[in-house]
Amino acid sequence: MVGDLTRSVGAVARGCTRRVRDRYDHLENIVHDQLVMHSITALRIAVGAVFLGFGVLKFFPGVSPAENLSRTATDLLTFRLIPGSVSIVVVAALECFIGVCLLAGRWMRLAVWLLALELVGILSPLVLLFGRLFAGPHGAPTLEGQYVLKDIILVTAGMVIAAASFRGGRLVRGDLGPAARIPEGAPLDADHKLAVVLAGISDETMIGELCARHEISESQFYTWRDASLEAATLALAEDASVPDEAATGRRGAVSQA
């Protein structure tokens, strides 16, 4: 009797643990889906705000903590052909323009190229002013050195934004995101069956709950899933066998010529 009670308690504990783990996996799935959809936009806005804020500061002499460093680096990059008072205004205007573009999500192609140019200037003190940046005790970076080293984060953020801004670049999941919740008791017509299948494919930990909610067996779910995948494969195969009309027209025009 004690053994039966122990097995029952163990089974209940394992069931609770599995349900908690499944709920956690489902929550993680939803959070990850939101990150995939919005993290690049959030990064773009954050970097844009940083560039706009620091760009505005450079318009006011003595306000920006990087003003002197920026003037010195620009003098070296331009061989002192541009006065420091002019170069700092140009840098400020460039940073503000990049910041506005990133915040608005407009003119991104131009903004990304200008950002690449700006990032070269931002990191140039590591080469041109290395001794000044690492003049601390035992070669440790000074406050200016730490300021420049942190800009490496801006460089990598700029690379991510550039990769996801144009030419079809985007961040995608390797699987389907969590599907919309199907109302309990809804009639399972073809559309709802497909929604159940997509929900189960996107989050396999919830297949058992989906089946219980819609009063179907898991074997029935897998039957629907296999049928859906087979139909999708046939549809894609038929689509691939139909010649593209535009391509056919072009080939015909070439042959006539």
Measured between alpha carbons, how far is 192 from 172 in angstroms, rounded to an integer?
25
Determine phi and psi for 93, rounding to 5 degrees.
-65, -40
pLDDT, tens digit (0-9, with 9 covering 90-100), for 134-179: 988 888 998 888 888 888 888 899 888 888 876 667 776 655 555 5
Long-range CB contacts (within 8 A, 24+) of 198-202: 200/225, 201/175, 201/176, 201/225, 202/29, 202/175, 202/176, 202/177, 202/178
| Main-chain dihedrals φ then ψ at residue 62, nearest 5 degrees | 80, 0
pTM of the predicted structure, to 2 decimals = 0.65
| CA atoms of 44 and 101, how far apart (whole Å) | 10
**What mean pLDDT value characterizes the chain?**
80
Q: Which range among 56-65, 161-170, 211-220, 223-232 shows the weakest confidence by mean pLDDT?
A: 161-170
CA distance 70 to 144: 11
End-to-end CA distance of the chain: 92
pLDDT > 50? residue 254: no
Domain residue ranges in the chain: 31-163, 179-256
pLDDT at 255: 45
pLDDT digits (tens, 9 = 90+) for 23-42: 777 787 788 878 878 898 99
Closest CA to 151 of 236, 50, 61: 50
Residue 210: count other Cβ atoms within 10 Å of its Cβ: 20
